Amino acid sequence: MNRVPALVSVKWLAEKLSSGQGLGNIRLLDASWHLPNTKRIAADEYPSKHIKEALFFDIDKCSDTTSYFSHMLPSAEFFADYVGKLGVSNNSHVVVYDNNDNFGLFSAPRVWWMFRIFGHPRVSLLNGGMPKWIKDGNPVTDEIPKVEEAKFTATLTPDVIKSFQDIDTNITSKQFAVMDARSAGRFDGVDPEPRPDCKPGHIPGSVNIPFGAILDNETREVKPVADLKRIFEDVGIDLKKPLSATCGSGVSACCLVLAAHLCGKDDVPVFDGAWVEYFHTAKPENIHVKGQQ
């Protein structure tokens, strides 16, 4: 099976859509999702404004809906059924984007990561997302495409997921580094969390790399690999050693997984429950704020 790049350009997708030959085995997915405090519901925005041929991938619906925590990973069977209904087969080249106005990538890497851990490496992200798509003069539509349901077989790779117990034990064992993709203010404990039932702070020993650091402020595209490597180096992350990623609820952590992947490190697990689970489960003394070691 042919490999696909982690990132595809807006120009590449525009040429595919304007070729008159259709997208073939490419399946385009709008994976937009917004933090609770933004009051935006991506599923409500999709019908009136999306890239042509895109279907909506709902991170909240394609999840373990029995969990107390938001958008935890679903079972392999659930994932397979969900993406099959979006016309995705094991031969599809999936291209994912999101519509966050401030960032070219935010939630789409979560879906990129999901496909990969369920055994489908033929998945790419639209570099710059819908903001760059629109900025470059490309059209959007309110036409929702119809696709035939496809058969998709999913196999979960469990060693790329960290549990609360893994993270809690690691505080003392220090078997792997933990990088947190939330903003510096939330990590330091000085800015509020977007969820009213959580207070800010961080896991002891973790380091902060706000996910926006991997993006170019002007183009909203992912920075060059040399810049990404420097970001990791600046916070003391050694990409040759074990590493994991966390954030608020398991979404933006996947931006850091993407950055590590582009740097050649392909084995970074995500703490799926992330800060929401950690805050509600950890001992109070293990919820640190700025100044604590």
Residues known to be catalytic = 247
Q: Which two tokens stand for residue 77?
A: 């069977």
For the stretch 223-245, what's the b/e string if a residue is b when 16 or more beta carbons lie within 10 angstroms of its beta carbon? beeeebbebbeeeebebeeebbb
> CA geometry: angle at 227 spanning 225 and 230, to 5°?
110
Task: Report the distance separating Cα 221 and Cα 243, nearest Å.
Answer: 24
119: left (phi over 0), alpha (psi -120 to 50) or beta: left
Question: φ and ψ at 86, to 5 degrees?
Answer: -90, 10
Contact (CB, 8 A) for 209 and 180: yes
**Two structure tokens written together for 192:** 């509020």
Long-range CB contacts for residues 259-262, cutoff 8 Å, separation at least 24: 259/214, 259/222, 259/228, 259/231, 259/232, 260/232, 261/6, 262/6, 262/7, 262/222, 262/225, 262/228
Tokens coding 1: 């099976």
DSSP 143-202: PPP------------GGGEE-HHHHHHHHHH--SEEEE-S-HHHHHTSS--SSTT----B
Structure tokens belonging to residue 247: 């954030």
Residues whose CB is less than 8 angstroms from the CB of residue 218 and which lie 6 or more positions away in sequence, other chains included: none
